[in-house]
């Protein structure tokens, strides 16, 4: 049986500055209790002979090989930019600093 009760949910909600109604506190206490019980059941099934895993299916890297190529020219890099000045992208000022 879970140890999560309405008082614990209300305490954590207050710490997180989350305003909950009494109905929400009761509902969340029940839902969190079910989740905690499910986690406890899984913990009971795991024994010393079961290896820890992060994924049930092994993952492999699907990235392509790195190929060294010539970089874009400044003109090509700036060709899709809405605005540029010299060899730089021109963007709107947002911090109010002196230009």
Domain locations along the chain: 6-45
99: pLDDT strictly greater than 60:
no
User: What's the CATH number of domain 6-45, 2.60.40, 1.10.20, 1.10.3470, 1.10.10?
Assistant: 1.10.20
- Backbone φ and ψ for 21, nearest 5 degrees, come out as -80, 165
In the predicted model, what is the mean pLDDT of residues 48-58? 79
pTM exceeds 0.85, yes or no: no
Contact 84, 90 (CB under 8 A): yes
More confident residue, 32 or 50: 32
pLDDT digit string, tens, across residues 2-38: 689 999 999 999 999 999 999 999 999 999 999 999 9
**Residue whose token pair is 């140890």:** 3
Cα 70 from chain centroid (whole Å)? 36
């Amino acid at each position: 049986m879970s140890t999560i009760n309405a008082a614990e949910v209300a305490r954590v909600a207050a710490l997180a500055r989350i305003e909950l109604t009494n109905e929400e506190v009761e509902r969340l206490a029940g839902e969190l209790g079910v989740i905690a019980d499910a986690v406890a059941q899984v913990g009971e099934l795991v024994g010393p002979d079961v290896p820890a895993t992060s994924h049930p299916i092994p993952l492999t890297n699907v990235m392509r090989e790195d190929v060294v190529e010539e970089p874009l020219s400044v003109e090509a890099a700036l060709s899709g930019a809405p605005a540029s000045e010299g060899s730089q992208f021109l963007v709107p000022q947002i911090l109010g600093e002196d230009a």
